[in-house]
Amino acid sequence: MTTAQARALDDDPRQWLGNTPQLEWKHPRLRLLAVRLTQLSYRPHDKALALFRHVRQMPFGCVGDGTGVPALTVLRLNRGDCHTKSTLLVALLRAIGLPARLRLVSLKSDFLQGIIDLGQNPVEHCQVEVWLEDRWVRFDSHVMDPPLVEACRTQLSLEGRTLGYGLHLDGATDWDGQTDALSPTVAGDERSLPVRDWGCYDDPYSFYSSTDEVRSKLGWSSRMVWMLGARRVNQRVHVLRTMAREPVEIQRSL
């Protein structure tokens, strides 16, 4: 087998239709939801867009430590972050037969400035890829719900910054169902570009459990640190959501 043939087999979209304990897309609740949301859509990209919109409107909020939260739990809690909302979206896409996967990248912590201070430590970030019209389309604009997006964009403008609060002012905050749409990453801004591309995985747990450099984050001590940080993130997000009424006061409080 040639290198080109091996690469083609490696990227075969059919291998990204399987089920995992974290995705659990064969569960009746997930399958019925996916069918209900897409029953009036006929083209694959319209179906994907319907599922995207459902997950996007769910409020952003950290749930657990993100590394092993099942899709059903995200659905029940009706909120999530990049790891958990992406897990749910991949599950829903696979439930209607669309190959989907997560791409894990590490971003500079600058993109979270204003929400949480992580020093210079890069942050693992989830993007969703779905197979549409014979190619992979990548997006992460489902992570932040529209009201929070507007609050964060307003705050960045008030502070005279382009990157922070989980997004880039020039990044995508929606998706058309056909082209790539990345929220914190803009090609023309080197600060926002990934410092490492870890590749594609079925779900967050499969990434953390199979990658030596990040496997320690599955340990109890790392999970506790993350959950404490998650509480802080959720507090900041709650404050940001009030910006529409008192933007100047919110700016000062942050």
Q: What is the pLDDT of residues 81-124, one digit of tens each?
A: 999 999 999 999 999 999 999 999 999 999 999 998 887 889 99
Tokens of 239: 């404050």
pLDDT at 56: 98
Identify the H or E element spanning 124.
strand 123-132
Q: Is residue 25 part of a domain?
A: yes
User: Residue 43: which domain range?
Assistant: 7-253
Higher pLDDT residue, 245 or 213? 213
Distance CA(145)–CA(61), nearest Å, equals 10
Q: Is residue 87 part of a domain?
A: yes
Q: Is residue 72 part of a domain?
A: yes
pLDDT at 254: 52
Name the phi and psi angles at 106, rounded to 5: -105, 125
Q: How many CB atoms lie within 10 A of CB 134?
A: 6
Q: Is residue 90 part of a domain?
A: yes
Question: pLDDT tens digits, residue range 127-146?
Answer: 999 999 999 999 999 999 99
CATH number for position 124:
3.10.620.30
Distance CA(134)–CA(172), nearest Å, equals 23
Question: pLDDT tens digits, residue range 170-211?
Answer: 999 999 999 999 999 999 999 999 999 999 999 999 999 999
Q: How many CB atoms lie within 10 A of CB 163?
A: 24
pTM of the model: 0.91
**Paired strand residues for 197:** 105
Q: Is residue 93 part of a domain?
A: yes
pLDDT at 98: 98
Nearest residue to 142 (alpha-carbon basis) of 170, 198, 180, 116: 180
Question: pLDDT tens digits, residue range 31-51?
Answer: 999 999 999 999 999 999 999
Number of domains in the chain: 1
Q: Is residue 175 part of a domain?
A: yes
Pairing verdict, β 196-201 and 167-168: unpaired
Distance CA(246)–CA(250), nearest Å, equals 6
Residue 186 identity (one-letter amino acid): V
Which burial class, exposed, middle or buried, applies to 223 when counting CB atoms under 10 A from its CB (0-12, 13-18, 19+)? Answer: middle
Nearest residue to 206 (alpha-carbon basis) of 126, 107, 113, 114: 126
Q: Is residue 1 part of a domain?
A: no
Mean pLDDT across the chain: 90
Residue 211 to residues 4, 28, 127, 216, Cα–Cα distance (Å): 25, 31, 17, 9
Question: pLDDT tens digits, residue range 210-228?
Answer: 999 998 888 877 777 777 7
Residue 245 banded pLDDT, cuts 50, 70, 90 = low
Q: Is residue 14 part of a domain?
A: yes
Burial 101-112 (b: 16+ CB within 10 A, else e): bbbbbbbbebbb
Distance CA(93)–CA(128), nearest Å, equals 10
